[in-house]
Structure 1
Amino acid sequence: MKTACKLAILGAFLATLTGCTGSVYNKEKNCNYDYLLHPAVSVSKIIGGCGPVDK
């Protein structure tokens, strides 16, 4: 029973995270970066890997 409860909690957590993921393209549409929770928190965005992005 404990294992089933842990699996259910893990599944709910993963479902929440997958709802908060996505990709953002730059203005030229030749580079994109993926984010997990928010586009501003992406490592690629922070280091400027794709340059300015079009919102």
Structure 2
Amino acid sequence: MKNILKFTLLAAVLATLSGCTGSVYNKEKNCSYDYLLTPGISISKMIGGCGPTDK
């Protein structure tokens, strides 16, 4: 029974995290960056890897 509970909890966490991911493209559509929870905390965006992005 404990294994089922652990599996259910893990599945719920993964489903939540996968629902909060995405990608953002720059204006020229030749570069994108992925984020986990919010685009504002993406490392690629922080270092300016793609330049300005469309909102």
Q: TM-score scaled by structure 2?
A: 0.96
Once the two structures are superposed, residues 20-41 of structure 1 have per-residue CA deviations (whole angstroms, 9 ceiling, x without a partner) of 0000000111000000100011
Is the partner of 1:23 in helix, strand or coil? strand
Runs of 4+ in 1 over 4 A off after TM superposition: none
Question: Deviation digits for residues 6-50 of structure 1, max 9, x if unmatched?
Answer: 110000000000100000000111000000100011110011100
Return the TM-score normalized by structure 1.
0.96
Q: Report sequence identity in percent.
A: 71
Paired position in structure 1 for 2:43: 43
In structure 2, the gaps of 5 or more residues are: none
Matched residues, number: 55
Matches of 1:5 and 1:36, distance apart in 2: 25
2:48 and 2:2 mapped to 1: Cα distance? 44
